[in-house]
Amino acid sequence: MSQPLRVGMVGYAFMGAAHSQAWRTVNHVYDLPAPVEMRVVSGRTEASVAAAAARLGWSEHTDDWRTLLARDDVDLIDICTPGDTHAEIAIAALAAGKHVLCEKPLANSVAEARKMAAAAQAAKPFGVRAMCGFNYRRVPAVAMMRQMIAEGRLGSIRHVRANYLQDWIVDPSYPLVWRLRREVAGSGALGDLGAHIVDLTQFVTGRLITEVSALTSTFVTRRPLPSASSGLSATGSTEYGEVTVDDAALFLARLGEGIVATYEATRFATGRKNGLHVEINGSLGTLVFDFERMNELQFYSREVPETEQGFTRILVTEPSHPYLSAWWPPGHLIGYEHTFTHQAHDLVQAIAAGQDPAPSFDDALQVQLVLDAVTRSAETSSWTAVEPVSV
């Protein structure tokens, strides 16, 4: 690539702001094979998307995402919309010869995800690339965890423990926003949070989930309808709607090579704001990652003398650690937004090299198949196999 990579983004709320931060920053941090240009952002209403473009740093704006597909000055479509629109936008963009970055989970159903993966495969011979945005892969400590496991530092993996805990809908008066409606979000805590820990644990261990036994629960089944203007509940509103997604999902799992695992995803863990925790136990040691201390790993090794054994804190801020050579001196911490900058860096590098970025749409489809198995298991109260990506 010698020409700039010109980006068009669809959606500009929470994820759109995070992605915009990354596109604004990546040129200034990394020596990229091609500079990134923030060409145009799309939203549903003219006034709102115009304000977002000015705030987030986009050169232009539009209220119709379809216009991006016909523009010769847009090379990549970045999808930051609710899950019910992912398939339509991604498939159309790939057919138009645009690279695609799509937020997780890939889709709202396995059927949609399979169509998206097939579209990505069909576009690949034409040099068009597609990636799903599982940003926690790009935490330096997580990437370091993967390296250490691949090097055999834990020996044979025995146990995986993962949970992702939030509390933002504990209050029953919190309104019925789109994330609580199955027709828009696909699922609740399972897809919103569970997808992250499924991908993260498979990423660091290099093993896939093969079978699950699950339960899900919805604690508050009716919520106030949001006001049209703010998206939050109108003062004194007496209109209610049904919550159609799970509030919590818990499941046991088996991974390859006899590994056993436990997963928990909930938005009802009172006091937990973004508590993502992963522990991997092996025959020679243990690694622990806690996102609330995202610049650290805890490492226990049985290979040191018994008198020296104990959990060691590894501060993952050295230039030799993943991603960190471009940032600050050792000991100077990075944050959540940096994971999206790393994601943008990896995507640009892959496109320039003519390589498939990771996670691919096939990888994201595999996560979707795990979520589907969890849903089916919860419905039947039985162990349920994860379907293969290709059938």
Say yes or no to pLDDT of 234 above 80: no
Q: Which residues contact 175 (CB under 8 A, 6 or more apart)?
A: 223, 224, 225, 226, 231, 232, 233
Domain at 5-136, CATH homologous superfamily: NAD(P)-binding Rossmann-like Domain (3.40.50.720)
Residues 357, 342: Cα–Cα separation, whole Å:
13
Say yes or no to pLDDT of 239 above 80: yes
Say how many C-beta atoms besides its own lie within 10 A of residue 137's C-beta: 20
Q: Which of 81, 86, 72 is nearest to 10 (CA)?
A: 81
Residues 14, 16: Cα–Cα separation, whole Å:
5
What pLDDT, on the 0 to 100 scale, is given for residue 272?
98
What pLDDT, on the 0 to 100 scale, is given for residue 107?
97
Res. 238 pLDDT band, cuts 50 70 90: confident
Domain with CATH 3.40.50.720 in the chain: 5-136
Look up residue 121 and give its two tokens: 């495969």
Which H/E stretch holds residue 278? strand 275-282
Residues 95, 93: Cα–Cα separation, whole Å:
5
Is 0.85 topped by the overall pTM? yes
Say how many C-beta atoms besides its own lie within 10 A of residue 376's C-beta: 16
How remote is the C-alpha of 333 from its chain's centroid?
Answer: 22
Say yes or no to pLDDT of 24 above 50: yes
How remote is the C-alpha of 32 from its chain's centroid?
Answer: 23
Res. 390 pLDDT band, cuts 50 70 90: confident
Say yes or no to pLDDT of 391 above 70: no
Cα distances (angstroms) measured from residue 190 to each of 251, 267, 268, 372: 10, 10, 12, 10
pLDDT digits (tens, 9 = 90+) for 73-89: 999 999 999 999 999 99
What pLDDT, on the 0 to 100 scale, is given for residue 232?
54
What pLDDT, on the 0 to 100 scale, is given for residue 229?
45
What pLDDT, on the 0 to 100 scale, is given for residue 14?
97
pLDDT digits (tens, 9 = 90+) for 126-153: 999 999 999 999 999 999 999 999 999 9
pLDDT digits (tens, 9 = 90+) for 160-202: 999 999 999 999 999 999 999 999 999 999 999 999 999 999 9
Domain with CATH 3.30.360.10 in the chain: 140-293+295-334
Which alpha helices (H) appear in 227-360, and where do they start and end?
A: 336-353
Cα distances (angstroms) measured from residue 354 to each of 23, 33, 119, 124, 347: 20, 12, 17, 10, 11
Look up residue 142 and give its two tokens: 């997580």
φ, ψ (nearest 5 deg) of residue 264: -145, 125
Cα Rg, the chain, nearest whole Å: 21
What pLDDT, on the 0 to 100 scale, is given for residue 180?
98
Residues 162, 157: Cα–Cα separation, whole Å:
14
What pLDDT, on the 0 to 100 scale, is given for residue 227?
78
Mean pLDDT confidence for 89-116: 98
**3-state class of 263 per DSSP?**
strand
140-293+295-334 topology per CATH: Dihydrodipicolinate Reductase; domain 2 (3.30.360)
